[in-house]
Amino acid sequence: MDRRKFLRAIALTGAAATIKTTNGMGILTETVNSPLTGNAVDIVAVMGGEPEAMFKRAIQELGGMGNFIKKGQKVVVKPNIGWDKTPELAGNTNPKLVAEVIRQCFAAGAKEVTVFDHTCDDWVRCYKNSGIEEAAKAAGAKVVPAHEESYYKEVSLPNGVKLKSMKVHEAIINCDVWINLPILKHHGGANLTMSMKNYMGIVWDRRIFHRTDLQQCIADSCTYAKKPVLNIVDAYRIVTANGPQGRSAADVANPKGLFISQDIVAVDTAAAKFFNQVKEMPLDHVGHLASGQALKLGTMDIDKLNIKRIKL
């Protein structure tokens, strides 16, 4: 994807002014200054670098990991590890990105960092072949299983429309803060997997989502009281067809992008627009975005937000 398409995908029309500056590293940066949000950065979008470099640059724009992780905190980093796929096939979050997020958490003073996912394929193979288990442990994190119901506890969702309760993994319940770290990719049921869809990996029984109303239940799950302090969407490699796991390398594109925000609906909207530049996927086909906005989880109206756009 070239720079013109990238900017069209993530910095969107409206009355906001765009200011271009060059930082001390010689990197062109562009900040949308919206009259609604002042100078605060709502979303950072980075293109063109390796996963670690893009995250380092993005978190710098948000003032550093210390703005989100405090000394002594127990942190969960929740990537997508759902499939028995190698990193090149983009079924899971990039292990290099996972490792860098963990390192940044420890640098900010985290007491411990835990990594897990409720996988779809065999969990041992997913953890190993994704490269995430090895990368996470090398960065100092604990990697814990999530394949048994005993690891989960019931929580209520009083604001859910169709989903009124769910069983959540104890690592999320017991942590101080958590970071949502999905990969952007096609999904046969939800149409796209991003931050909101990644909640299904903290839940025991996902069958009820599919039996009831998948798009609404995804949004309902995100009403859980303990929200992630950051949503980081890995778009370094993406599955463009036959998702969520893809069939072969032919289903994978390599646009080298990353999106980060505390607003889960906004960051997923930006990522979905980015995906749409690679392969057509209208926003109204990703129904959990509108449902999330209706539940006041965030906004799809990202042309009114400050978006920091960076090309490495």
Instruction: Evaluate whether residue 6 is within a structural domain.
Output: no
| 153: its two tokens | 């506890």
Our count of domains for the chain comes to 1
Does residue 216 lie in a domain region? yes
pLDDT given for residue 247 in this prediction: 87
| pLDDT value at residue 5 | 54
Distance between CA atoms of residues 223 and 291, nearest Å: 11
Q: Is residue 18 part of a domain?
A: no
In a domain, 125, yes or no: yes
Closest CA to 260 of 288, 298, 236, 232: 232
- Give the phi and the psi of residue 67 in degrees, each rounded to 5: -75, -15
Q: Is residue 2 part of a domain?
A: no
Q: Which residues form the domain of 164?
A: 63-243+251-298
In a domain, 222, yes or no: yes
The CATH code of the domain that includes 69 is: 3.40.50
pTM exceeding the 0.85 threshold for the entire prediction: yes
Maximum CA extent, the chain:
53
Does any domain span residue 161? Answer: yes
Return per-residue pLDDT of the chain as tens, 312 residues: 554 554 555 443 232 333 333 333 233 334 333 333 445 899 999 999 999 999 999 999 999 999 999 999 999 999 999 999 999 999 999 999 999 999 999 999 999 999 999 999 999 999 999 999 999 999 999 999 999 999 999 999 999 999 999 999 999 999 999 999 999 999 999 999 999 999 999 999 999 999 999 999 999 999 999 999 999 999 999 999 999 988 899 999 999 999 999 999 999 999 999 999 999 999 999 999 999 999 999 999 999 999 999 999
In a domain, 17, yes or no: no
